[in-house]
Structure 1
Amino acid sequence: MVKIGILEVDGVLTLYEHFGHLPTNVVKADGKIENGKKAHEELDGLIIPGGTIMESESLTPELAEEINLINDNDGFILGMCAGFQILGKETDVGRNSPVPIIREGLGLLDVTFEPLINTNKVEADVVDDTTLFTKGLKDTTVTGFHCHTYGKIESNDKNVMYSNIVRANYKHKPSRVLSGVTNKKGNILGTTVHGLLDNNPAIVNNILDYLDATKQYDEIIAENKKLHEKVFNEIAVNTNNFYIPKKEHPEVPPMIMLMGTGSESGKTFLASGIVGALRERGIHTYVVKVGPDIRDLSPSLYMNKEKLHDYASIKIGDIGWTPLDEVIEQVKGKGYDLVLVEGVMSAATGLLNEKVPYSTAEIAYAGNIPVIMVSSVSKGGIETAAIDIEAHIKLLNKMDIKTKGIILNRTYDEKIVAHVTDFLSDKSGIDKNNIWSITKAKVENKGRVPEDYLQLENFTKAAKDVVNKDLDVMKFVELAEIPKFRDYLTFNEIVDIYKK
């Protein structure tokens, strides 16, 4: 039977997609598979998933040599998103830096990358069929999604795929962008179209045909299932910390929402820490995001070794993927013990937009989802955060949204926190035991980089450590409730609430 490797190193989202259920063996940073043999000696092909490989600097010399040798052996190599960057020449990862921050790839594809954010579902046009991946597919359309920060691609190689996107850099900007490049030999494909193999069986069939393995597909799928179970059971990557699940899971998982008083309140950081801490306790938690920025889900999916499903993005207005009522239906029976909803920006951001729904608060109302209010004290201090939280809770009360807990994030003074906790409990009626203070976490990065330069392995470890230290994480399970969709408030109803 043919063997197809999938790379699993720090910063890689190994199970973010299924890759057509093709992978049969894991390749580690030393370039070896599980039996200790070098990858190029055993594998017929290699898949490099997305993640933060460039930022995490996970490409070791041993691994680089094995990838080059697989190419020399005419094995197929598929690089997805960050895996594409690894195969290219270089990536400028300094999105908010005044000067470029360059990370070099292997140069197997003559491609460079610069920042361009896109999180669309996409249709991509195949414009070349001379590669093993696109054989017979020229002038057809394939489907998938984008989830990247570095999507501006300059190529001097063979361009085979162009995506039609609607938004870029958070703005409505319909355009056609390069999303698939191969080498001249045609055995290497780099692409930004996630779900390419899962959504387009013809490409899987082309790979199997190239490997003369079409009749072996059932065996490959069986081996892939074993690999999936093994990878899934470890919490994050290279931690030797394993998930021991509860024996039974509810058919309808309860939900609870992390709702912020503004951007940069720490929702994404806390969500990934909560996922990891609960998983250590045998609780399977899936995170869904209000709105379209599915990049925020990557840390939680890294912790959980989870696929990004369509229901991971709750549609608001004309952005995002799946309407809330469908999300509630689709998470049923999936083995989740809890669904954690991460809000977008402030609870009220978009609330007075005539598109309905267009805010986190409207989603919480419509799903009857209880809320944990999160506010960072970094900008205005602990007292300002408390006043901001109180104002938000008053608004939520008017909207018939239940606030069940409060998190003061990045606190620095225990005495002030104690006074503020009394104040918030008195004003909101929330039990003081459900008002938490999170101390500022130290996230160590490996490079000289801007603050928002994310390394998944360090970010998620710091999140889990601080959650385990400062939160009673099982309370999130206790405070969650079974969602009940009750339709959205009308725009006029929202305006009337504001006037009260």
Structure 2
Amino acid sequence: MTKIGLAYINGSVPGFEDFGNLPTDIVKENGLVNGNKASDELDALIIPGGTLIESNDINMDLNREIKKMARDGKPIIGICAGFQLLSNQIDIGRKSPVPIVKDGLGLIDVNFSPLITSDRVKAKVYDNSFLVKNQTEDVTGFHTHTYGKVEGDAKPLFYSQVQRMNYGDTNKKGDYNIFSGACNDDENVIGTMIHGILDENPVLVDNIVEQIDIQDLDDIYNRNLEVKKYLESEVGIHTGIKVPAVKPMGKPKYLMIGSNGSDSGKTFILTGLAGALRKRGYKVALLKVGPDVRDIIPGLYLTKGKMEDYASVKIGHLGWADIESTVAKLNSSDYDIVLIEGVMSVFTGLLNEKVPFSAAEIAMSSNIPMILATGVNKGGIESAAIDIVAQANMLEKFGISVEGILLNKVYNDDIFDNVVPYIKNNTSVDRILKLPKLKSADMRGFIPEVEIRYELFTSHAMDLIENNLNIDEIINMAREVEFEKIYSFEEIKSRMI
């Protein structure tokens, strides 16, 4: 019986993609499969993406089994963080004055350093491994990483064509400018930064099937269904939180998490809500307005949800899928609730003549209700209250339903209580919510833009949300929606008067 392992370890995102529907067995930190060593039980191993290096949760037992499988010539495929794990070393010191170097397993002769990309990509293929045999066309998939600069002498497999790097356009249309995949000299240990590569390129799956001589593919797929059931049965990784069965809600209900600026905590709030809803049995879709889908990965870590091909909502030329097609796909899906994270302020980009170019315009297009959040840590609770009132009233002029106002990082309950009447008296919003300041938020591992440990970030986010917000009340804020129209630049300006 052929067995293909999938690493299920803290910091990994094993539900992020389907991996060609090939994994048949779960491999945990102890390196065992059904009580036996992975190197004895498995014919191949897939190591998913995540924060394996930042989380530092790969222990010696699993490392030893990975190395043994590599020496035995068995296929090992590492994706994103899985690729990093197989490399020589990784500099995770983005925004650090000095490199912060973590060692990999040294199975693929490359090193990693900071480089941000979050694109749907095509990638040129180099014939240096069984995996790409007969793959005569570009492969497709997506990037979403912070530490993605690959340099080294390993045999190349892929070079990706990207539109943006480090938040800026590349201005190199058609160039294959990112080294995005490599293999070892024996060509059996493979790493790539391209997520979805086994789901979108069937020739690669055929090559794996041939390489490990799978005789009964239906048996593989049936056992893969059991693996997926196992993944979906737990919130997060090794939390022990089981997902109950609930009756589907019918058409999905939508809720956007918007804000009056960056550093308001949108990602933290969305992550905690995603986990809390999944804990109650709901199937939760996560979307990001704009291109930076890295922000919704912590939520997907908890829900075990897929990074859908419409997860990045287009604004101007940035993103993956337009809001009209996204709503159409979601409304025919089996999701119960759709949480959408805005980008920067809800009004950032509003007066760009490329429409839509802001979270407000995306909400307007389909009457998506919103929780409007503000961080109070910079200007104080009073300033935040005054600012959020102005933002809420402007959203009302645009016809956007603000279902709740949330003050985040509240450091003084008495001051919060004193500003609530001001907010209620000067807006039409009845629900004024708060989240307390998280004392450990300055620790490394809490910053998505720099270094994030998913198990740490997500557990704190879910605990804070559940302990301070009424989840049933949040569910009641969500609404079914239909796409209506994209408002023109002139229509937008007229509503601002």
- TM-score relative to the length of structure 2: 0.97
Once the 2 structures are TM-superposed, how far is the Cα of residue 285 of structure 1 from its aligned partner?
1.9
In structure 2, stretches of 5+ residues that fail to align are none
Aligned Cα root-mean-square deviation (Å): 1.5
Which amino acid is the alignment partner of residue 18 of structure 1?
D
Map 1:351-362 → 2, pairs under 5 A: 351-362=350-361
* Aligned position for 2:148: 151
CA-to-partner distance for each residue in 1:180-214, whole Å, 9 max, x for gaps?
1001101011001111110001000001101111x
Check the 8 A contact 2:445/2:451 in 1, yes or no: no
* Aligned position for 1:204: 205
2:456 corresponds, among 455, 458, 461, to 458
* Counterpart Cα distance in 1 of 2:98 and 2:290: 31
Which amino acid is the alignment partner of residue 469 of structure 2?
L
Which amino acid is the alignment partner of residue 451 of structure 2?
Y
Same amino acid, percent of matched pairs: 41
* Aligned position for 2:184: 183
Matched residue SS, 1:109: coil
* Counterpart Cα distance in 2 of 1:450 and 1:191: 24
Matched residue count: 492
Change (3 A) 1:204 1:443: farther
Check the 8 A contact 2:254/2:339 in 1, yes or no: yes
* Aligned position for 2:270: 271
Map 1:97-116 → 2, pairs under 5 A: 97-116=96-115
* Counterpart Cα distance in 2 of 1:442 and 1:9: 27
* Counterpart Cα distance in 1 of 2:51 and 2:353: 37
Once the 2 structures are TM-superposed, how far is the Cα of residue 413 of structure 1 from its aligned partner?
0.5
Check the 8 A contact 1:438/1:466 in 2, yes or no: yes
CA-to-partner distance for each residue in 1:221-248, whole Å, 9 max, x for gaps?
1000111011111000001111113123
* Counterpart Cα distance in 2 of 1:388 and 1:474: 28
* Counterpart Cα distance in 2 of 1:334 and 1:482: 13
* Aligned position for 1:126: 125
Check the 8 A contact 2:371/2:404 in 1, yes or no: yes
Check the 8 A contact 1:445/1:458 in 2, yes or no: no
* Aligned position for 2:369: 370
* Counterpart Cα distance in 1 of 2:383 and 2:289: 26
Matched residue SS, 1:229: helix
Once the 2 structures are TM-superposed, how far is the Cα of residue 447 of structure 1 from its aligned partner?
6.5
* Aligned position for 2:492: 494
Map 1:392-431 → 2, pairs under 5 A: 392-431=391-430
* Aligned position for 1:332: 331
Map 1:281-360 → 2, pairs under 5 A: 281-360=280-359
* Aligned position for 2:253: 254
Which amino acid is the alignment partner of residue 7 of structure 2?
L
* Counterpart Cα distance in 2 of 1:280 and 1:235: 6
* Aligned position for 2:471: 473
Map 1:440-451 → 2, pairs under 5 A: 440-443=437-440
Map 1:427-438 → 2, pairs under 5 A: 427-431=426-430, 434-438=431-435
Is residue 483 of structure 2 the alignment partner of residue 485 of structure 1? yes
Change (3 A) 1:449 1:402: closer
Once the 2 structures are TM-superposed, how far is the Cα of residue 481 of structure 1 from its aligned partner?
1.1
* Counterpart Cα distance in 2 of 1:345 and 1:233: 34
Matched residue SS, 1:344: coil
Check the 8 A contact 1:94/1:449 in 2, yes or no: no
* Counterpart Cα distance in 2 of 1:447 and 1:415: 30
Is residue 4 of structure 2 the alignment partner of residue 4 of structure 1? yes
Once the 2 structures are TM-superposed, how far is the Cα of residue 282 of structure 1 from its aligned partner?
2.1
Which amino acid is the alignment partner of residue 319 of structure 2?
G
Which amino acid is the alignment partner of residue 348 of structure 1?
F
Matched residue SS, 1:98: coil
Check the 8 A contact 2:444/2:452 in 1, yes or no: no
Check the 8 A contact 1:245/1:284 in 2, yes or no: no
Check the 8 A contact 1:97/1:450 in 2, yes or no: no
Once the 2 structures are TM-superposed, how far is the Cα of residue 449 of structure 1 from its aligned partner?
9.4
Runs of 4+ aligned residues of structure 1 deviating over 6 Å after TM superposition are 444-451
* Counterpart Cα distance in 1 of 2:283 and 2:419: 33
* Counterpart Cα distance in 2 of 1:387 and 1:123: 46
- TM-score relative to the length of structure 1: 0.96
Is residue 142 of structure 2 the alignment partner of residue 141 of structure 1? no
CA-to-partner distance for each residue in 1:247-267, whole Å, 9 max, x for gaps?
2331x2111110011011111
Once the 2 structures are TM-superposed, how far is the Cα of residue 291 of structure 1 from its aligned partner?
0.7
